[in-house]
Structure 1
Amino acid sequence: MVGKVVVSGISIILVVGVVIGVVAGVHKFGSSGDSGETLTLQMKAVSTICAPTDHKELCMKTLGTYAANATADPKELIKAAVLATLEEMNGSFNFSVSLAANANVTDARVKMSLDDCKDLYQFAVDELQAAFSFVGDSDLHTVNDRVAEIQNWLNAVVSYQQSCLDGVEDAKLKADLQNNLQNATQLTSNALAIAS
């Protein structure tokens, strides 16, 4: 009799242990599955947003960080694309200011072209700030209805970027500006494709 009680007690302990283990395992599996599913949905949203872009790898890299921060909202991803472009353009503007200040330029035309680049880059930054504010302040339906306005801002940025490069005759300065502007140019192209 005592043996049966001991065996029954051990059996109950084992059954309770197995039940606790199964419940804990199901809970853990369910939690990681949900976050994996969420991350997959976010990356699908990024992939969809980046599909029409010419520079998909840069787009995926740029917007992938936003997806990792738990957003799959198209409006937030559009906003992120414009913000990334704005940040790169700010960097290019700062580079042009530094280049104009530090360049040992005796030719007045070269100095004027560098000053023009500063102005054009500032105009580009202003256009990107306007686009970013617009996307941030609008709901997605309003953004969809006013895509042409966003495209105008982004097309203006492309024009300012190209006008700067077209105006610089000094080959080394032009190459320096072009190399520095590469990411901003590609991100602008991506943002324009996304807006389209």
Structure 2
Amino acid sequence: MEGSFAHALVALLMFFMFSTNTVSSTVTTSTLDSETNIEYIKTSCSATIYPRLCYHSLSIYASDIKTNPKVLASTALNITLKATKSTARMMIKMSKIHGLMPKEAAAAMADCIEVIGDSVDELQQSIEELGHVRNSNFWLTMNDIETWVSAALTDEDTCMDGFQGKAMNANVKTLIRRHIVRVVHYTSNALSLINRYASKNLASP
């Protein structure tokens, strides 16, 4: 009886030791993977013009991005699209507030809303095309994507330039500029990561 109890106790202890080691190993592997993913994003963002914004906007998606340059570029584009749509909505609401700005500034706002709308369309096209990239059409598709994102960046710059020298409320002008500048920075970073993805493919055998 005592021998059976001793055997059962040893078996139980061995089970717990195995379970603990397995859990510990799983946690360690998960931690290492997470650190690797974060480091990958940090390294990739260091090549952008606005690395801090790049890292802070993308690091929260590290578990989805892992170390995949295509997913990294796609995530950056989606973040940029979301910010651009939000800015467009804000500007449309402001344009409808009667008496908020003089006639000349209101015209600049209307022009800006139009080109930001173009930017939204171009970013959407880029995201869709990135999802259809194949080895057989890689360079043609990537060239289209780079062209569209570059066009979106130009549209955003055009919007910002349109307010230069316009007489309008300083707070309104500052608010618009802050949102447009942020969208420009997001777009610039996304373009850098797209170019990085393309160059990685070029370097592959």
TM-score (norm 1): 0.84
Aligned residue number for residue 167 of structure 2 = 170
Contact 1:39–1:70 under 8 Å retained in 2: no
Q: Which amino acid aligns with 1:191?
A: A
CA distance in 2, matches of 1:45, 1:143: 23
Q: 1:46-75 deviations in whole A, cap 9, x for unaligned?
A: 223322112222212222222234643221
The percentage of aligned residue pairs carrying the same residue is: 19
Q: Judging changes above 3 Å, is the alpha-carbon distance between structure 1 residues 138 and 63 closer, same or farther for their aligned structure 2 residues?
A: same
Q: What CA distance in whole angstroms lies between the structure 1 residues aligned with 2:139 and 2:98? A: 44
- The answer to whether structure 1 residue 47 and structure 2 residue 39 are counterparts is no
Runs of 4+ more than 6 Å apart: none
Pair 145,124 (structure 1): closer, same or farther in 2 beyond 3 Å: same
Deviations 1:130-154 (A, max 9, x none): 1111112214785566443322222
Stretches of structure 2 lacking an aligned partner (at least 5 in a row): 196-205
The match for 2:26 is 31
Larger Rg: 1
CA separation of 1:141 and 1:27: change in aligned 2, threshold 3 A: farther
Structure 2 letter corresponding to 1:111: A
Which whole-Å deviations, capped at 9, do the CAs of 1:96-127 have from their partners, x for residues lacking one? 11121115157432221110011011011111
Q: Over the residues paired in the alignment, what is the CA RMSD in angstroms? A: 2.4
Q: Structure 1's 23 and 132: CA in aligned 2 closer, same or farther, altered over 3 A?
A: same
Any idea what SS the aligned residue of 1:102 has?
coil
Q: What is the CA distance between 1:31 and its match in structure 2?
A: 1.7
Listed as ranges, the gaps of 5+ residues in structure 1 are none
The equivalent of 1:17 in structure 2 is: 12
Aligned length: 191
Give the one of 81, 96, 104 matched to 1:86: 81
Report the AA paired with residue 152 of structure 2.
V
**Deviates further, 99-108 or 131-140:** 99-108
Report matched runs for 1:23-172 at 5 Å. Answer: 23-69=18-64, 71-104=66-99, 107-139=102-134, 142-143=137-138, 146-168=141-163, 169-171=166-168, 172=170
